[in-house]
Copies of this chain bind each other. A is one copy, B any other.
């Protein structure tokens, strides 16, 4: 059983580059190719630093597929100038995604503007931005993927905190234009998430055009949280999340795409990248696909 699951596992596994931040893009391309991992999730800053076209070539030459680009978003500014700048930046992100050959741009909505307490207003500005960007995304062949972040980021990073909210936004648009990200780290605590994953698959709507799930990302939940709560994600299997349950739910909702491992954790970054990737592959087999 294990033997036969292993190749399938590697077919679907994608390594988000932030999991091995210690690796340069060439390290990442070589390391994944050597380990038999076929997909990578990339971030805009290192890609732009390396050069978008060069990064696209590097990854393609290594036989890798870019499964997502992180990230656009930050749509909640009230100031018209800031808002226009955010939309321009998101158009650039869509261009970059297209150049990298990925169909998925991950969007983090943005938090409350300084001094504001108006969560509903901020959420509505996210919807407005999606409406402005959707036609441009369609032209580039890229789907906008709304990522709900854990509620602990609602004030300063992302006013979209649950999968239900992300779907409320996404469903204003066709499923092939706006989807959602299911990230176990952000959603594991929510007793309604199974129902919402089913909804994302079209189970509630009865026959929309395929699943809304544009990306499926994994990290485990460990405590205590570090200061700032940003870099405390756990290696697969080290924490409280039933990762296999999530995989089974997204598959039941029709998702057959890559499974991206995205762990922000300085303890992983301090180690040898190849060793970290080998551990990810091992944990993925034990806790996710087996």
Binding site for B on A (CB under 8 A): 112, 116-120, 123, 150-152, 154-156, 161-162, 164-165, 188-192, 221-229, 239-242
Within the complex, the shortest CB–CB distance from A60 to chain B, in Å, comes to 38
Within the complex, the shortest CB–CB distance from A283 to chain B, in Å, comes to 14
Q: What are 18 A-B pairs with beta-carbon distances under 8 A?
A: A117-B240, A117-B242, A118-B242, A119-B189, A119-B191, A119-B242, A123-B191, A151-B151, A154-B189, A155-B239, A161-B189, A161-B191, A162-B191, A164-B192, A224-B229, A225-B225, A225-B228, A225-B229
Within the complex, the shortest CB–CB distance from A37 to chain B, in Å, comes to 25
Residue of B with least CB distance to A157: B223
Q: A225-B227, A227-B225 are in contact. Are A151 and B117 (CB under 8 A)?
A: no
Closest 8 CB pairs of A and B: A154-B189, A155-B240, A151-B189, A117-B242, A152-B152, A227-B227, A224-B228, A225-B229
Which residues of B sit under 8 angstroms from A165, Cβ to Cβ?
191
Residue of B with least CB distance to A160: B191
Complex Cα spacing A120 to B156, Å: 30
Complex contact A155–B227 (CB within 8 A): no
Complex Cα spacing A35 to B271, Å: 56
Which residues of B sit under 8 angstroms from A118, Cβ to Cβ?
242
Q: A155-B221, A229-B225 are in contact. Are A120 and B191 (CB under 8 A)?
A: yes
Within the complex, the shortest CB–CB distance from A253 to chain B, in Å, comes to 19
Residue of B with least CB distance to A118: B242
Complex Cα spacing A225 to B191, Å: 24
Residue of B with least CB distance to A152: B152
A150 in complex: contacting residue of B151, B190, B228, CB < 8 Å: B151
Residue of B with least CB distance to A115: B240
Complex Cα spacing A162 to B162, Å: 12
Complex Cα spacing A120 to B188, Å: 12
Which residues of B sit under 8 angstroms from A229, Cβ to Cβ?
152, 224-225, 229
Within the complex, the shortest CB–CB distance from A264 to chain B, in Å, comes to 15
Complex contact B150–A152 (CB within 8 A): yes
Complex Cα spacing A161 to B227, Å: 21
